[in-house]
């Protein structure tokens, strides 16, 4: 079921035309009047400093790693890979992430959770110091999570405004330079309602104003969930309505856009939609939607990954930046798409895989940093092939050539097997039996459907200029 625009006052379309009251603004960026952030009347930071932080968050080729999972969310992630969720395992995991060598090359900031901002490395160095030494800005999630919106079954509103001023002041003392508040918008039968959008955007704007008062850059995050069967056009309409409402609310609350960062979801079909979109379609729709609803004055926009695969999240960001230049830098603030590969590796052996897990984090940071510049390239898949006396390594594209057609068929089949879950286990076993992934010992398997050809399946390609393991197939035609 898709959301409908038919009833402008009942549906999300009402948020397209919010009624804005004119508020005489106490200060403007242009005149410099009141260019200071105050906490209980005491100046703590100039507007220029807020602007500088916001700009540093989206510096060219850099983005943000979100490691601000609440204790219940990180428990779900840990459960999935068989790690017990305790204060110590959470601390150890975040230490692994934050001490990744050279992380600051592509990461400008990290969003922490309340527990994490108070934690230290095993040797006693506060995480915030580790980060600042590495040139990474500490950020903090300050919302208290979504709660059911009374009167609107299935919809939620994010809570956490009560006591926020005091909490922000404490976070500022602990070293936080920016904060995050996530609103959740669900697409469903009659959702989202205009009421849900407005309630969430009002809270986002109230939060943002409090952040700036405390000298903290607000990251405002209205996430349109990917759950559902809706198509890309519905996602576009909901995203546009939400962003227009959000910037209306920010204006009403006197939030200074120059010291604000938008964390947006991409315009993308629902996970259950039969018609998925190409990277270029997602990029084009997202950029068009942002251009129609986000003021050019904003210092930058970062994206959440929202359940996309690592590669999708990178490819979409890259495609957007290849369509640039845009009015704002477009970068990333990924949680799962930055961490999931590293978490999987770390969970298998926390000590032994510590350095490899960090390499995976660094690799994801590098790839997303390149995507933020529009310079990312999908890692080429190479195949090793021998056809009669010919032997060589071929990129997947080369297999389109007629000469390699029979070889290509074999590759396709082998590749499908590799991708399939059952076969993944099988290839995994072969790799295990080989012991040394780089030894290139052969494993013979008969393939009746290709006659006398024999396939040899290897894993990993030491001769390729990519860091991740991939399938390599050698073919012999007799």
Residue ranges that bind ligand 13P, judged by CB under 6 A: 66, 182, 221, 304-306, 334-337
Cα angle: 357, vertex 332, 192; to 5 degrees: 120
- Nearer CB in complex with ligand 13P: 16/266: 266
User: What is the C-alpha separation between 255 and 209, in angstroms, rounded?
Assistant: 5
- Nearer CB in complex with ligand 13P: 226/471: 226
Cβ proximity of 34 and 27 under 8 Å: yes
Phi, psi of 446 (to 5 degrees): -85, 140
User: Going by DSSP bridges, is the β-strand pair 36-39/42-46 parallel, antiparallel, or unpaired?
Assistant: antiparallel
Consecutive H or E run containing 59: none
User: What is the C-alpha separation between 154 and 131, in angstroms, rounded?
Assistant: 39
Q: Which residue has the tokens 């890692």?
A: 379
- Nearer CB in complex with ligand 13P: 330/410: 330
Both structure tokens of 32:
């410099």
Q: How far is the CB of 304 from ligand 13P (least distance, A)?
A: 4
Instruction: Give residue number: closest CB to ligand 13P.
Output: 335
Q: How far is the CB of 470 from ligand 13P (least distance, A)?
A: 25
- Count of beta carbons in the 10 Å neighbourhood of residue 26: 8
- Nearer CB in complex with ligand 13P: 104/146: 146
Cα angle: 180, vertex 49, 115; to 5 degrees: 35
Q: How far is the CB of 262 from ligand 13P (least distance, A)?
A: 13
Question: Who contacts 329 (Cβ-Cβ below 8 Å, separation ≥6)?
Answer: 58, 60, 299, 300, 301, 372
Q: How far is the CB of 107 from ligand 13P (least distance, A)?
A: 14
Q: How far is the CB of 333 from ligand 13P (least distance, A)?
A: 6
Q: Which residue has the tokens 């959440």?
A: 304
**Radius of gyration over alpha carbons of the chain, in Å?**
25
Both structure tokens of 478:
């007799």
- Nearer CB in complex with ligand 13P: 304/371: 304
User: What is the C-alpha separation between 138 and 338, in angstroms, rounded?
Assistant: 17
- Nearer CB in complex with ligand 13P: 145/327: 145
User: What is the C-alpha separation between 165 and 171, in angstroms, rounded?
Assistant: 10
Q: How far is the CB of 279 from ligand 13P (least distance, A)?
A: 17
Cα angle: 177, vertex 183, 189; to 5 degrees: 165
Q: How far is the CB of 41 from ligand 13P (least distance, A)?
A: 33
- Nearer CB in complex with ligand 13P: 263/456: 263
* Catalytic positions: 221, 263
* DSSP secondary structure string for all residues of 125-153: -BHHHHHHHTT-EEEEE----EEE-TTST
């Amino acid at each position: 079921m898709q959301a409908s625009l038919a009833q402008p006052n009942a549906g999300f379309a009402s948020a397209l035309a919010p009624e804005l009251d004119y508020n005489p603004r106490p200060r403007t960026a242009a005149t410099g009047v009141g260019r200071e952030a105050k906490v209980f009347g005491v100046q703590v930071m100039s507007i220029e400093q807020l602007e500088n932080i916001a700009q540093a968050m989206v510096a060219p080729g850099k983005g943000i790693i979100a490691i601000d999972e609440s204790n219940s969310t990180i428990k779900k992630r840990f459960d999935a890979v068989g790690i017990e969720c305790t204060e110590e395992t959470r601390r150890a995991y975040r230490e692994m992430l934050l001490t990744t060598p050279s992380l600051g090359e592509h990461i400008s900031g990290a969003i922490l959770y309340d527990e994490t901002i108070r934690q230290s490395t095993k040797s006693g160095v506060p995480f915030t110091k580790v980060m600042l030494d590495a040139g990474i800005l500490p950020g903090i999630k300050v919302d208290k999570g979504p709660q059911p919106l009374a009167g609107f079954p299935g919809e939620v509103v994010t809570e956490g405004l009560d006591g926020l001023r005091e909490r922000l002041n404490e976070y500022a003392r602990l070293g936080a330079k920016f904060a995050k508040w996530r609103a959740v918008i669900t697409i469903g039968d009659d959702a989202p309602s205009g009421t849900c959008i407005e309630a969430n955007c009002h809270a986002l704007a109230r939060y943002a104003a409090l952040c700036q008062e405390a000298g903290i850059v607000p990251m405002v995050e209205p996430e349109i969930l990917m759950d559902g069967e809706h198509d890309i056009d519905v996602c576009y309409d909901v995203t546009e309505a939400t962003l227009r409402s959000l910037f209306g609310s920010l204006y009403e609350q006197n939030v200074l856009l120059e010291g604000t960062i938008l964390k947006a979801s991409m315009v993308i079909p629902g996970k259950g939609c039969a018609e998925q979109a190409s990277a270029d379609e997602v990029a084009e729709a997202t950029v068009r939607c942002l251009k129609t609803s986000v003021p050019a004055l904003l210092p930058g926009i970062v994206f959440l990954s929202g359940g996309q695969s690592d590669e999708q999240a990178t490819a979409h960001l890259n495609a957007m930046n290849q369509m640039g230049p845009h009015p704002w830098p477009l970068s990333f603030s990924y949680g799962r798409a930055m961490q999931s590969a590293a978490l999987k590796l770390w969970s298998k052996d926390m000590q032994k895989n510590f350095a490899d897990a960090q390499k995976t984090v660094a690799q994801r940071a590098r790839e997303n940093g390149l995507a933020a510049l529009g310079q990312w390239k999908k890692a080429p898949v190479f195949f090793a092939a021998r056809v009669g006396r010919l032997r060589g390594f071929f990129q997947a594209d080369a297999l389109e050539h007629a000469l390699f057609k029979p070889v290509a068929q074999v590759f396709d089949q082998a590749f499908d097997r590799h991708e399939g879950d059952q076969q993944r286990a099988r290839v995994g076993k072969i790799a295990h039996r080989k012991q040394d992934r780089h030894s290139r010992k052969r494993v013979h398997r008969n393939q009746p459907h290709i006659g006398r050809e024999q396939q040899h399946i290897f894993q990993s390609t030491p001769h390729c200029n990519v860091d991740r393991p991939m399938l390599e197939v050698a073919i012999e035609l007799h």
